[in-house]
Structure 1
């Protein structure tokens, strides 16, 4: 029994270490991957603002059309800018050598970013750019310090600046506020921009696991089966062992 307890503690130690670690507060994304309208809006933002640099090479356009309730013609007309073949994956035309020269490193593929980082991280990251003149593109990010990516959606959100405070002798970001003047005003209100980034986050969550709704549905039935099977197995065990003393 002691060995079993030790093994369980060793197994969960990495998770406990991550949970105990410090870091930036992540906002609750509160997404709904069953909302096809949200996923359609998220796909629109992805192809317009992300797909020029970031691929999603494990996602095919025809699969996207089927899952998001769109026709192939609608996808071709509104979401396909890098290819004309509906069966192609969501790839980019950017040369990796040029990307490394421009950004310092090739922009990563985003097919599995939601599984790697989590939806709360993505949602906070997308809304967390702020002015930092020391950076090559003039911006930094609250959850990704010294990020090499420009704020591609600044026209929607407007520019923000960081308000710092001192905690235990260190400067930390207290909040982000709009910069003064026209640059601080985007074409969307803060509520509209938050909703747009929630839609984009939901789309990236879908791309990372298109079958997640089916998995959860089947998981419920599997757990019910295991529950019934456990009862039957327990009764059978009692029957087999009833005469053993």
Structure 2
């Protein structure tokens, strides 16, 4: 019984995520060493996500320092509600208002990249499409019946399911070819994909701010262990030389 409980504790999270859409995920080629991308992602996050969401387990000061933004410049351009630079990154929307407008409190985004994964986020933000039956007029391929508006529509434009007539087995058939914008956004499709990748890059950083530092320490530790192993092996041979 104990073994069964332990096994289920590992399987349940997987089953929960598997219960969602089976839409294929695109690969998010993010790069945490690209500070320019992180800065662009932070700008999008502060302008388009923080109005409703928050990253309440991360401080502004730590964020600005890690992504290479001077504190004064960050306060001037990335903080909009009078917070101090040492404050946590809390959203502007009161919890009571969120529950009233959306039916529930909006989720915190600090760890969403670790929970969902970068590929999920990247695909999710690029697969909104018009659905007049939904309260906000949009739906999502990765998250069916999504309960939020398309926050980045200003950048992408109005996204529609696109179909084309193609000759298949001697017959003209309508084939789904993906989601396309109506062109009303401020960015081209290529620019929008890059903007989403920058945002995902920043959200991956939020989920684990010390990741690069930890990886650097890990490489030094592994190097030390390898060097120590060589000396330990040589010492062992010296001690046991007369025995053998």
Report the TM range for the smaller structure's normalisation. Answer: 0.7 to 0.9
Cα-to-partner distance string for 1:62-93 (whole Å, 9 max, x where unaligned) = 11221121211101110001233111111023
What per-residue deviation string (whole Å, max 9, x for no partner) do you get for residues 126-174 of structure 1? Answer: 1110111111101111111111010011121012222589xxxxxx976
1:204 Cα offset (Å): 0.6
Q: Alignment partner for residue 178 of structure 2, among 175, 179, 185? A: 175
Q: In the alignment, what sits opposite 1:43? A: 42
Residue matched to 1:213: 212
Q: Deviations over 1:157-197 (max 9, x none)?
A: 012222589xxxxxx97622335xxxx43111000101111
**CA separation in 1, counterparts of 2:38 and 2:238?**
53
Closer, same or farther: CA 244–148 of 1 in aligned 2, 3 Å: farther
1:71-82 aligned at under 5 Å gives the runs 71-82=70-81
Q: Distance in 1 between matches of 2:87 and 2:58?
A: 8
- Give the CA deviation at 1:47: 0.7
Contact kept, 8 Å, 1:26 with 1:120, in 2: the verdict is yes
Identify the residue that residue 4 of structure 1 maps to in structure 2: none
Does 1:202 pair with 2:205? no
SS in 2 for 1:75: helix
Whether the aligned pair in 2 keeps the contact of 1:162 and 1:176 (CA below 8 Å) is: yes
Change (3 A) 1:236 1:164: farther
The 8 Å contact of residues 131 and 162 in structure 1, kept in 2 or not, is answered as yes
Question: How far has the Cα of 1:240 moved from its partner?
Answer: 6.6
Whether the 8 Å contact between 2:126 and 2:193 is mirrored in structure 1 is yes
CA distance in 1, matches of 2:180, 2:70: 41
Aligned residue pair count: 222
1:103 is aligned to 2:102: yes
Q: 1:228 deviation in Å? A: 3.0
Tell me if 1:67 matches 2:70. Answer: no
CA shift for structure 1 position 231: 4.1
Quote the residue 1:124 is aligned against: 123
Unaligned runs of 5+ in 1: 1-9, 166-171
Name structure 2 gaps, 5 residues minimum.
Answer: 1-6, 165-174
Instruction: Tell me the CA shift for residue 238 of structure 1.
Output: 6.1
- 1:1-245 counterparts in 2 under 5 A? 14=11, 23-163=22-162, 175-179=178-182, 184-234=183-233
CA distance in 1, matches of 2:87, 2:176: 42
Give me the TM-score of the superposition, normalised by structure 1. Answer: 0.80
